[in-house]
């Protein structure tokens, strides 16, 4: 399996995030990808390739132009205002009900209008890393379009929480959505399977009223888990997208027997949709030892996960998302890929 990777992600290196009113050490850090890269090289499951550079057009097929312009200029504007502070840009106020949403002018207004949490800072290298992550996802999609059975986009920052004009959840540009749209534009019928612990609210929002990209997500019930406001079982799509969206919210301490049942149902839904290519938002924060999540999936279970996805028999694009247990992240990620290849 070809893996696409670029060291540009190292430029995005948050030192802290803000959760529950206090600063905590960042968990979405460069070492996540570097650990997976080392394990890929050890296991020798395929070549590690540099991504091709794509134009902005595939991004603008998914994301609002003003939003993209904001992301490119947010950090310079932040530094212009706070020239004596080297902290990353983080919003501190939001246009909640009764306040006017204003997406131009002062950087503080823009941050609050475009971001939905305090855990997703914008630093000096954030845009370059996010932009290269898109190149990585598109390169993997192009490889599969060209005839590869599967490809792995080892990209960060992740993307599945970013919608067309909102970022958050460590995500800035929605890598998997951009890749799915690109494959659609090449004549494919794509489906997205999100196996991250957290619901892919951004991906759902992008395709929720569309019938041309199917979305299935298996995740922790948002009644207790981030992102809290989307990911419930009654969200099935609207308008043209009705019945093209399916969610499987699961309880705390979910282990493989319950998880595999949801996975089988999600893959059946993908098959019933008639997809000819599958994109997997590969989050590994379902692991029993993940520091911020509450499932009980084991290292061995990830082999089974990969096998189940492989048995679906679809050309597949794996796009890296969450997973924060640095010690086990590499082996868990590669287990999915090896399980897929062995199916």
Return the active site residues.
Answer: 161
CA 238 remoteness from chain centre:
22
CA distance 198 to 244: 19
Q: Which residues of 215-249 are buried (b: 16+ CB within 10 A; e: fewer)?
A: bbbbbbbbeebbbeebbeeebebeeebeebbbbbb
CA distance 64 to 74: 15
CA distance 36 to 34: 5
CA distance 206 to 222: 19
Question: How many other C-beta atoms lie within 10 A of the C-beta of residue 269?
Answer: 20
Degrees (nearest 5) of the Cα angle 259, 141, 248? 20
């Amino acid at each position: 399996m070809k893996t696409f990777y670029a060291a540009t992600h190292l430029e995005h290196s948050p030192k802290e995030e803000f959760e529950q009113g206090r600063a905590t050490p960042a968990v979405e850090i460069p070492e996540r990808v570097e650990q997976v890269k080392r394990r890929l090289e050890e296991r020798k499951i395929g070549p590690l390739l540099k991504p091709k550079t794509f134009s902005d057009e595939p991004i603008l097929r998914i994301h609002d132009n003003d939003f993209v312009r904001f992301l490119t200029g947010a950090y310079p504007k932040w530094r212009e205002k706070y020239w004596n502070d080297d902290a990353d840009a983080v919003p501190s106020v939001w246009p909640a009900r009764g306040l006017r949403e204003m997406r131009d002018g002062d950087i503080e207004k823009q941050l609050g209008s475009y971001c939905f949490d305090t855990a997703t800072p914008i630093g000096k290298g954030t845009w370059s890393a996010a932009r290269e992550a898109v190149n990585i996802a598109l390169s993997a999609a192009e490889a599969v379009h060209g005839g590869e059975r599967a490809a792995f986009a080892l990209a960060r920052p992740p993307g599945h929480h970013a919608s067309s004009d909102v970022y958050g959840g460590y995500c800035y540009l929605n890598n998997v959505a951009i890749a799915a749209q690109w494959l659609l534009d090449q004549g494919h019928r794509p489906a997205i399977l999100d196996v991250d612990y957290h619901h892919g609210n951004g991906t759902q929002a992008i395709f929720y009223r569309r019938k041309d990209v199917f979305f299935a997500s298996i995740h922790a019930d948002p009644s207790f888990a981030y992102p809290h406001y989307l990911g419930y079982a009654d969200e099935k799509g609207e308008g043209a997208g009705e019945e093209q969206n399916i969610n499987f919210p699961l309880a705390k301490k979910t282990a493989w027997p319950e998880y595999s049942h949801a996975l089988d149902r999600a893959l059946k839904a993908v098959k019933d949709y008639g997809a000819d290519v599958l994109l997997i938002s590969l989050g590994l924060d379902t692991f029993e030892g993940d520091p911020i999540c509450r499932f009980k999936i084991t290292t061995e279970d990830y082999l089974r996960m990969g096998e189940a996805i492989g048995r679906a028999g679809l050309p597949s694009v794996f796009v890296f998302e969450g997973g924060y247990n640095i010690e086990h992240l590499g082996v868990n990620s590669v287990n999915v890929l090896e399980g897929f290849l062995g199916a």
